[in-house]
Amino acid sequence: MKLYWAPHTRSLRALWVLEEAGLPYDREFVDLSAGVQGTPAFLKINPMGKVPALTDGAATVAESGAICAYVADTVPQANLAPPIGDPARGRYLQWLFFAVGNIEAAYMQKFTGFSVSTQSAGFGSFDRVIDVLEAAVDKGPWLLGDRFSAADVMVGSDLYFGLQRFKIVPSRAPLEAYVDRCLARPAMERAMAIDAAGA
């Protein structure tokens, strides 16, 4: 597997899930400041011109959520996803998609100040998203109870950014404790070290 990445982006999720999977992988730094993401060579990998992107033999996967799902399903021995047929699979998929469909939409509304009625907003409201997350992680230690999964990579990275980097998520004990558990995972520590070191 080869990860096309850049620091301080959603690439952190891909780094984290790959480190959790425990398989060797290559990294190719995409210099965003030099515009590498807009070159014809990179646009063949991801026509959107964004990182992260992953290649695995003939397979190419873009979008951080898709990369997390792909790695989790490709490396079943890492136990990052309940297998098809497992009753926990539904909840796993719910949280995997909640990150990109609800959390990130709520963050963007908070950042931009753009107002949409709760009835019209597909994600509900920022406060509702945070309340739902708090209730989910308070049951812990992970979104699937005792079972860590790629859904925790997605939601955990979003909450890390929201609480500690962007500081837009209100500090609540269950959310802080969940992020602390995520940050304490050796794979996340390695991913953050790679991200901090940059190219």
Q: What is the mean pLDDT of residues 119-143?
A: 87
Q: 53-57, 103-107, 165-169: lowest mean pLDDT where?
A: 103-107
Distance, CA of 67 to CA of 17 (rounded, Å) = 8
Structure tokens at 10: 């959603």
- Measure Cα distances from 60 to 39, 44, 158 in Å: 17, 10, 24
For residues 168 and 110, the answer to whether their CB atoms sit within 8 Å is yes
Q: What is the mean pLDDT of residues 19-35?
A: 96
Structure tokens at 83: 């297998």
- What per-residue confidence (pLDDT) applies to 189? 98
Domain total in the chain: 2
Residues 148, 162 within the same domain: yes
Is the pLDDT at 126 greater than 80? The verdict is yes
Structure tokens at 148: 């860590």
Q: What is the mean pLDDT of residues 121-149?
A: 91
Residues 110, 58 within the same domain: no
Q: How many Cα atoms sit within 13 Å of 83 on the Cβ side?
A: 6
Is the pLDDT at 115 greater than 80? The verdict is no
- What per-residue confidence (pLDDT) applies to 125? 83
Of all residues in the chain, what percent are helix, strand and coil, respectively (each to 5)? Answer: 60, 10, 30
* Domain CATH code at residue 22: 3.40.30.10
Q: 54-58, 99-103, 190-194: lowest mean pLDDT where?
A: 99-103
Tell me: the pLDDT tens digits for 37-49? 999 999 999 999 9
Q: What is the mean pLDDT of residues 156-169?
A: 96
Residue 51 pLDDT grade (very low, low, confident, very high; cuts 50, 70, 90): very high
Residues 96, 169 within the same domain: yes
Work out the mean pLDDT of the chain and round it to a whole number: 94
Residues 136, 153 within the same domain: yes
Residues 176, 192 within the same domain: no
Q: Which helix (H) or strand (E) holds 42?
A: helix 40-45
Tell me: the pLDDT tens digits for 139-157? 889 999 999 999 999 999 9
Write out the residue range of the structural domain in which residue 70 sits: 2-79+188-197
- What per-residue confidence (pLDDT) applies to 120? 61
Q: What are phi and psi of 22, to 5 degrees?
A: 75, 10
Q: Which of 181, 182, 176 is nearest to 133 (CA)?
A: 176
- What per-residue confidence (pLDDT) applies to 123? 66
Residues 71, 95 within the same domain: no
Residues 103, 23 within the same domain: no
